[in-house]
Amino acid sequence: MSKALKPAELRAFADEHLAYEIEMLFAAVRTRDVRLLTDDPSLLSFFHNARVEAFVSHLRTLIGFLFPDVYRPKRNDVTARHYVESPGKQGEWEDWRGPLSDAMRRAKDRADKEVSYLTDRRIAGIPPEKGWAMQPLANALGEILLRFVAAAEPERLGERVSALVPQVPF
């Protein structure tokens, strides 16, 4: 865990960096219905791939943020624990948050192998299993983020993150 951050520092971090992660993840899902003004297959492919990569990258980051008990944070990482940690509250948050689902675990593992690194574990071609179930994953993560917002100390989180978490599923 990184150094002890003051509530104002955590609020500023959340308003800029955590908000960005949340905003980008849900924007990637919302862009599913965007129509481009081109028929160029290379541009259409680029937009599709960029959308998937944005979703997967931000999903991976947010899973690590919300589940530091599962994915050990590096020395300077900021996690949900920074926002809910107070005597006796940590265990409550992780109980209330719930365990990491199998779908989320598989998504994080896939993201680690297929997007973040060049490995021989990448799926070749375009078989159906290469697709990403964005809506169900975003909805599941949204539920956990709502719990996080409710559990976080208000002076640490501020209001921007709360405003970005969808209140209803996609």
pLDDT tens-digit readout, 77-91: 999 999 997 756 667
| Tokens linked to 36 | 């481009």
Residue 69: per-residue pLDDT = 92
Of 20, 50, 47, give the one whose Cα is nearest residue 34: 47
Q: Which pLDDT band holds residue 168 (cuts at 50, 70, 90)?
A: confident
- 135's enclosing H/E stretch is helix 134-151
Is the pLDDT at 9 greater than 60, yes or no? yes
In this prediction, residue 116 carries a pLDDT of 72
pLDDT tops 90 at residue 119: no
Which position has the token pair 């719990």?
147
Q: Please tell me the distance from the alpha carbon of residue 2 to that of residue 75, in angstroms, as a whole number.
A: 5
